[in-house]
Chain A
Amino acid sequence: MTQLQARGLVKSYGPTPALRGITLDIDEGEIVAVTGPSGCGKSTLLHCLAGILRPDAGEVSWRGHRLDTWSEAARSRLRRTDFGVLFQFGQLVPELTAAENVALPLLLAGTGRRAARTAALTWLERLSVAECADVRPGEMSGGQQQRCATARALVTEPRVLFADEPTGALDTLAGEQVLTQLVRLAREHRTSVVLVTHEPRIAAYADREVVLRDGVIDHTGLGLDAPLAGGSR
């Protein structure tokens, strides 16, 4: 079943075009990698799909409902319930412990304190960072922070997880461990994932790869910077 649908997305920053007509469907439980050279519009697409940015033209539908026309309040409510977001640098709240960070989205969604803490501990455990529960981000390694951020993105059991270079700040092994767990948990819970990355080996975790070039989907799937038939002999 299609969860998320984008039709003809266009987005510019002032005179700079970032998206020039993107059409894309994402199914339930599907893991889609968005790749392409730097500046091609990957992050902008992710932000439009997640309802963080409003496109200049085109539509984003969530289970058949037009998301792009919703108010900011309605969209941010959706990001607390059905959507999870994860960035390159986990962006944990420095003053809170790992367990408090992970419990936060549940508290914002109205879950009681005790239930939120229990769920937070369960998710920290699933991401193998139970030992960090009462530690603040400043005293954790980058890999531990990213696992906590992943736990926080998944604790609400979102239907779609948006991840922008989620392992970009980690070394290969730490990055792989985070990603392996993320993919396993997503498969277990049938969560759809939009995974932005510029690395082939990260994109290989996805079911499907969408390659962008200059704000459009490159249907050759190759992400070439130059056209193939260049005739440049």
Chain B
Amino acid sequence: MSTPHLLLGLLATGTMHGYELKRAHDTRLPQARPLAFGQVYATLGRLLRDGLVASTGPERLAGPDRTAYTLTEQGRATLDQWLSSVEPPMPYVNSPLFAKVVVALLVADVDRARAYLVAQRRAHTERLRELTALKTAPSVTVDDIVAADYAIAHLDADLRWLHTTLDRVADWHREVHP
């Protein structure tokens, strides 16, 4: 995830203090790992250095919390460029899930690989149910739904892969250990 661009984007909505940025981040991305204050300030420091944001208010005097940050023109240009570039669609196939099955087949047997796939499928299914419950809760916001949708679609894709791979494990093992 690109924290610098996220912060630039949030600052495009108006000048903010560090703690306001953190709060805005956690609200807009409700299912993301909450941003640590340390990370906010470290990122802001780099953005300041590169001239992408400017600071206003009593700097350093009363601690970093009193400083407000604004997007500079250069920051706006960087943000625009980021927004108009397409993310490369899965340029490498390297998920920890995939890697684990490969290694299991290399060092263990078919049953070990299957046992892992089955356990992973159970964990995925539980998470899918959690996120679905979140989506159907009466107090849900669109922020929540959009975040949950993203995760649900990916879990669903993983589950399909886990399912078909379970059926292919024996063939695959024969190929790895001819």
Q: Do A and B bind each other?
A: yes
Q: Smallest CB-CB separation from A221: which chain B residue? A: B122
Q: List 19 A-B contacts (CB under 8 A).
A: A180-B136, A200-B125, A200-B128, A200-B159, A201-B128, A201-B156, A204-B132, A205-B132, A205-B136, A206-B129, A222-B122, A224-B166, A228-B115, A228-B118, A230-B114, A230-B170, A231-B111, A232-B110, A233-B109
A95: chain B residues at CB < 8 Å are none
User: What mask results when residues 205 to 221 of chain A are scored 1 for a CB within 8 Å of chain B, else 0?
Assistant: 11001000000000001
- Top 3 closest pairs, chain A to chain B, by CB: A204-B132, A204-B128, A232-B170
Query: Is A1 in the interface zone, CB < 8 Å from B?
Result: no
Contact B121 A222 (CB under 8 A): yes
Chain B min CB distance to A225 (Å): 7
Q: How far is the CB of B122 from chain A (nearest CB, A)?
A: 8
**Which chain A residues lie closer than 8 Å to B160 at the CB level?**
200
Q: Does chain B have a CB within 8 A of A78?
A: no
Contact count A vs B, C-beta below 8 Å: 49
* A contact residues around B155 at 8 Å (CB): 201
- B: residues with CB less than 8 A from A are 109-111, 114-115, 118, 121-122, 125, 128-129, 131-132, 135-136, 138, 152, 155-156, 159-160, 166-167, 170, 173
* B115, B128, B136, B152: the one within 8 Å of A183 (CB): B136
Q: How large is the interface on A (under 10, 10 to 19, 20 to 34, 35 or more residues)?
A: 20 to 34
Among A222, A230, A231, contact of B118 (Cβ-Cβ < 8 Å): A222
B124 to chain A, nearest CB (A): 8
Query: Taking chain B's interface residues, is the majority helix, strand, or loop, or is none over half, making it mixed?
Result: helix
**Docked complex Cα distance between A45 and B79 (Å):** 56
With the chains together, A2 CA to B136 CA distance in Å?
Answer: 24
Distance of A195 Cα from B114 Cα, bound (Å): 28
- Cα–Cα distance between A25 and B36 once the two chains are bound (Å): 47
Q: How far is the CB of A215 from chain B (nearest CB, A)?
A: 20
Contact A226/B167 with A201-B152, A204-B132, A233-B110 known, Cβ cut-off 8 Å: yes
Is there contact, CB below 8 Å, between A229 and B152? no
Q: Does A114 contact B (CB under 8 A)?
A: no
B147 CB → nearest A CB, Å:
15
In the complex, residue of chain A having the shortest beta-carbon distance to the beta carbon of B135: A180
Residues of A contacting B131 in the complex (Cβ-Cβ under 8 angstroms): 204
Complex interface: chain B residues within 8 A of A200 (CB): 125, 128, 156, 159-160
With the chains together, A170 CA to B115 CA distance in Å? 34
A64, B37: Cα distance in complex, Å? 59
Instruction: Write out the residue numbers on chain B whose beta carbons fall within 8 Å of the beta carbon of A201.
Output: 128, 132, 152, 155-156
